[in-house]
Structure 1
Amino acid sequence: MACRNGVAFSLVSLALTSLLFASQANAQAAGYVSPYCVKALDKPFCSEVVKVADTWQEAITEVLSETIMQSTLAEPIMASLLKTLPSTTDAKLKDDIGSGCRKSYNDALQTLKEVEELLKTGDKTKSANTKLSAAMSRLDDCEDEFKKIPMPTEFATFYQGSKKLLSTCLAVERTRPDLV
């Protein structure tokens, strides 16, 4: 099982890295920024994620789907990673980090699924942005779990990828036609 989690982590890292390099190469070559990404911090990355979208609905669905997929991988990656912490790390601290990050990602995932449902029904209350911001805060809670020990590099890469995707969701959501 640990091998499978390691493989999943490696595949996710490879996919995010490839997407990042491809987005930078495409954006530099074409100078193109998707209209759904004008508010994104990383416009080339955002443009690559939503490149197949012709409408705002397609763009937000694409980036939200990617973010949900990334969030579902957190638990097995975290479980595998906790086993790699130094043996001198207190067992209770390992458990606290594991359960805290698991809860953070699970809460974020639940919120992302709520956003998905809101968007399917037209988000009449226009609360998707608030919920996406709440999901971002939940991910920050996972980072807070690493107060006493540094976040392992492998998980930090995964965590930063999660934050980047969620930030991209927020940026695309903010270009919603009825909000602009």
Structure 2
Amino acid sequence: MSYRNGVTLSLVSLALTCVLFACQSSAQEAPAYKESPFCVKALDKPFCNEVVKAANTWQEAITGVLSETIMQIKLAEPIMANMLAKLPPTTDQKLKNKIGKGCKESYNDALETLKEVEELLKTGDKTKSANIKISAAMTRLDDCKGEFKKTPMPAEFATFYQGSKKLLSTCLAVERTRPDLLS
């Protein structure tokens, strides 16, 4: 992938993250909204409502938010390449490599786990392990954040990371409203 494509993907991802945060801001400024039954367990109810607004069933809601989350996580690699270039020039190359490798593994593991959730949901998740797997994906992203103990996370990547965590949190909240879990 050329540098130009990497920058383009970074900008697209940043735009997506900004749109997600803008949805939250506009939802907070809007008059009262009807809360989706799929968002009752969400920490950020306006954001969740915006993400699942087109859903009429739990399956549509979880599929929609999971798809959005997977799409966001897939954008991590070019953003991470850009992030490594924005670390302070005084940052030791070994540390840069460690951060890059650790974050890449974290996001790849999170993506694979979310794909497993997608497959579980297609087959009915009879083991009811989607919740555990979504939580594991969140933990993997936290592992990436943990790589930044010795240097600050660049602002663009921090925004992307927060957007990823917000989508995962929303995904988890919607999963927790699964009809057979509430009975």
TM-score by length of 1: 0.95
Please tell me whether the aligned partners of residues 23 and 47 of structure 1 are also in contact (alpha carbons under 8 angstroms).
no
Shift of 1:24: 4.1
Tell me the equivalent position of 1:162: 164
Matched, 1:134 2:136: yes
Matched, 1:101 2:98: no
> Mind listing any 5+ residue stretches in structure 2 that lack a counterpart?
none
Percent identity (aligned) = 68
Give the AA of the match of 1:35. P
Instruction: Measure, in 1, the Cα distance between the counterparts of 2:155 and 2:110.
Output: 22
Within the candidate set 37, 40, 43, 1:41 is matched to 43
Shift of 1:56: 0.2
TM-score by length of 2: 0.93
Instruction: Measure, in 1, the Cα distance between the counterparts of 2:38 and 2:104.
Output: 31
Please tell me whether the aligned partners of residues 40 and 167 of structure 1 are also in contact (alpha carbons under 8 angstroms).
yes
Q: SS state of the match for residue 21, structure 2?
A: helix
Shift of 1:14: 1.9
Superimposed CA distance per residue, residues 59-79 of structure 1 (whole angstroms, 9 cap, x where no aligned partner): 000000011011111111101
> Mind listing any 5+ residue stretches in structure 1 that lack a counterpart?
none
Shift of 1:15: 2.2
Higher mean alpha-carbon deviation, 114-123 vs 82-91, is at 82-91
Instruction: Measure, in 2, the Cα distance between the counterparts of 1:94 and 1:176.
Output: 41
Instruction: Measure, in 2, the Cα distance between the counterparts of 1:127 and 1:133.
Output: 10
Instruction: Measure, in 1, the Cα distance between the counterparts of 2:171 and 2:139.
Output: 14
The alignment covers a number of residue pairs equal to 180
Within the candidate set 76, 83, 98, 2:85 is matched to 83
Q: What do you get for the CA RMSD once the two structures are aligned? A: 1.3
Instruction: Measure, in 1, the Cα distance between the counterparts of 2:81 and 2:44.
Output: 30
